[in-house]
Each structure stands twice: as C-alpha cells, then as structure tokens.
C-alpha cells in the first residue's frame, strides 16, 4: 500500500474542472482474460466524504503519463467506501490500466451525466439485455434494483458474449442464477460454447425474443408494463430494440446508455455530439425513441 498522496489546496483544485482527484486501486478483479474491474477509493478522505453519484453516471479515469478514458461507474451508489469501474483492454489507456497493481494510484474526475430514473421503474417488469463489455453500465442498475427488489415486477437479465470466456461478472451471474426472483439468462455466440455449457447459445436479440416473452407472460403484467435496458455493440442494440418491438416493448420503453467517445465530459471538447445532442451533457442515458430521433451520426 502506498503512503497517502499529496495534492494541491482544495480551493484551487475545485476551480479547475479538468484536474482529476487521486484514487487508489483498492482491489483488482479479473473478470475475463481482457476485462478487469477496479475497486477504487479516494486518497483524500475529504474527497471520499463529499463523493456521491447516481446510478448510470460516468467518470473520466486517468493514468498519469498515458491519458484519460471514459467509463461508467459500475457499482451501486449505496456501496460504501469504494466505487468500481470495469474496462476491456482495447486502447492505449485501458492497456496501461490493465497493467496497474493494487495500491497504485490513478486519477478520477466525475461523476458526470444523467442517471437512470429508478422511481419511474417502480412496479415495472424489467428486462436487462447486454452484450460483452456493455454489461457494466447495466450492472450498476441491476444491483440498485436488487437492493429494493420488492419495488419492481419481474426481473429478466439476458447477458451475452462472444464466448463463455468473455462473460463478465461470472460470480454475480452464478448468484443471480440461484435466486428465484431473477431470471438470469446467459448466452454465448454460436461456437463460443464449451463442453458442459449450461447457458444458451445464440445472439442476445435472438435469445431475448425466444426466452423472455413467456417469462413476462407468466410473471409480468404484459409488454406495456415492461421496461428494457440495453447496452452493447451498436449492431447488438439495434437488433435488441427490433426484437423488443416485436414483443410489444416499444422504443419509448427501451433505455439505452450510449458510449460515445469523450474527452472533457463537460460539453466543451466537441466530440460526443450526435447532431445537437451532447451525450455528456444530456446523456449518456436515453430512451431508444430519443436515440432513433437523433441523426444517423452514431
């Protein structure tokens, strides 16, 4: 463990919105061969004390000397003492981040963006459909829902990945599979299933359409009472929305969290806009109806 890191006077720091706060990597959880979860805690107790965030918000995570990357805060805001992010090793920053060790210090700015409307979800039947590294931005909401499970209707989770080795949060999925008040459906793309695979084989939209309607029919209050949450590769979410539409769950009942490239996260660097929508300011959470009304610049 490192000694406490120093930082500049709080007043000066607060004034410059681009300066990250120091956070220590408290724990690294290896989710898959290329996906890691980081549990983070603020170095300065004053920062920890004043830090709050809402479910679905995101942050800018820095490795000094390498750069910044944007990730959803994948933990529940009710967890105390730390928060989490989850990333796949794909770019320069995430590759460097994957080499970090517990106790190392990185930078954090945030939280930014809007959040899920939890109260609006009360009494609804909830469908979560995510693919690959698209699951973490949904996972924070799943945990948040499970903390107040009785306030919601049926809960169905469809979580897919290319292969079983790419499924993140395996330990949590095992736990959710054992629960009687959650339908946990895991699936892998054809060819990604090992021997003795106990999940589904097929793409997320296909599995969703095959498995979910009868669950909703049996335990839910019909398609009009459903809300769906989806995140994943653009091609997956497109077909998820179409599949949901055929099930009677319209685009205004589908909530997406967008993953546009960002730098500043505060509406100034000009990078994340889709038409006149700055994803960092108005999003990242939109209904599919809102996203469909945006230009095709996505």
Which chain residues interact with another protein by CB under 8 A? 2-8, 12-13, 15-20, 22, 43, 62-69, 90-91, 94, 103-105, 107, 233-234, 259-261, 263-264, 266-271, 273-276, 278, 281, 293-298
CB-based contacts of 183, cutoff 8 Å, min separation 6: 154, 155, 156, 157, 211, 215
Find the shortest distance in angstroms from Cβ 297 to another protein: 5
Name the burial class of residue 9, with classes exposed (0-12), middle (13-18) and buried (19+) by CB atoms within 10 angstroms of its CB. Answer: exposed
From the CB of residue 281, how many other CB atoms can be counted at a distance below 10 Å? Answer: 15
Find the shortest distance in angstroms from Cβ 160 to another protein: 16
Task: Return the number of the residue (65 or 194) whose C-beta is nearest another protein.
Answer: 65
d(CA 63, CA 89): 14
Q: Quick check: 205 and 158 in contact, CB under 8 A? A: no
Nearest to 251 by CA among 291, 197, 199, 294: 291
Find the shortest distance in angstroms from Cβ 225 to another protein: 30
Task: Return the number of the residue (44 or 193) whose C-beta is nearest another protein.
Answer: 44
Nearest to 113 by CA among 153, 93, 140, 92: 140
Find the shortest distance in angstroms from Cβ 258 to another protein: 10
Find the shortest distance in angstroms from Cβ 138 to another protein: 17
Task: Return the number of the residue (224 or 298) whose C-beta is nearest another protein.
Answer: 298
- Distances in whole angstroms, Cα of residue 127 to Cα of each of 11, 38, 141: 44, 26, 11
d(CA 2, CA 56): 30
Find the shortest distance in angstroms from Cβ 15 to another protein: 5
Task: Give the SS3 label for residue 189.
Answer: coil
Task: Return the number of the residue (182 or 262) whose C-beta is nearest another protein.
Answer: 262
Q: Quick check: 85 and 40 in contact, CB under 8 A? A: yes
Find the shortest distance in angstroms from Cβ 176 to another protein: 26
Task: Return the number of the residue (125 or 166) whose C-beta is nearest another protein.
Answer: 166
Q: Quick check: 137 and 74 in contact, CB under 8 A? A: yes
Task: Return the number of the residue (54 or 221) whose C-beta is nearest another protein.
Answer: 54
Task: Return the number of the residue (13 or 117) whose C-beta is nearest another protein.
Answer: 13
């Amino acid at each position: 463990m490192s000694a406490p890191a120093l930082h500049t006077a709080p007043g000066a720091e607060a004034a410059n919105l681009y300066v990250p706060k120091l956070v220590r990597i408290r724990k690294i959880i290896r989710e898959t061969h290329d996906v890691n979860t980081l549990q983070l805690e603020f170095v300065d107790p004053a920062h920890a004390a004043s830090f709050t965030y809402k479910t679905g918000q995101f942050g800018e995570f820095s490795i000094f000397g390498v750069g910044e990357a944007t990730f959803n805060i994948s933990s529940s805001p009710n967890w105390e003492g730390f928060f989490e992010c989850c990333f796949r090793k794909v770019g320069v920053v995430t590759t460097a981040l994957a080499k970090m060790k517990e106790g190392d210090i990185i930078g954090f700015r945030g939280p930014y963006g809007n959040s899920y409307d939890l109260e609006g979800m009360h009494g609804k039947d909830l469908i979560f459909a995510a693919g690959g590294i698209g699951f973490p931005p949904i996972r924070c909401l799943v945990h948040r829902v499970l903390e107040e499970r009785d306030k919601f209707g049926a809960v169905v989770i469809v979580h897919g990945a290319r292969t079983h080795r790419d499924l993140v949060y395996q330990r949590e999925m095992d736990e959710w599979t054992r629960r009687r008040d959650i339908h946990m459906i895991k699936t892998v793309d054809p060819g990604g299933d090992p021997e003795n695979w106990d999940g589904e084989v097929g793409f997320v939209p296909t599995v969703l359409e095959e498995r979910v309607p009868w669950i909703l029919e049996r335990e839910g209050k019909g398609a009009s009472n459903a809300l769906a949450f989806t995140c994943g590769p653009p091609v997956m979410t497109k077909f998820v929305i179409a599949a949901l539409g055929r099930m009677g769950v319209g685009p205004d009942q589908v909530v997406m969290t967008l993953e546009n490239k960002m730098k500043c996260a505060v509406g100034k660097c000009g990078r994340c806009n889709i038409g006149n929508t700055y994803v960092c300011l108005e999003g990242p959470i939109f209904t599919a109806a809102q996203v469909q009304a945006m230009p095709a610049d996505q």
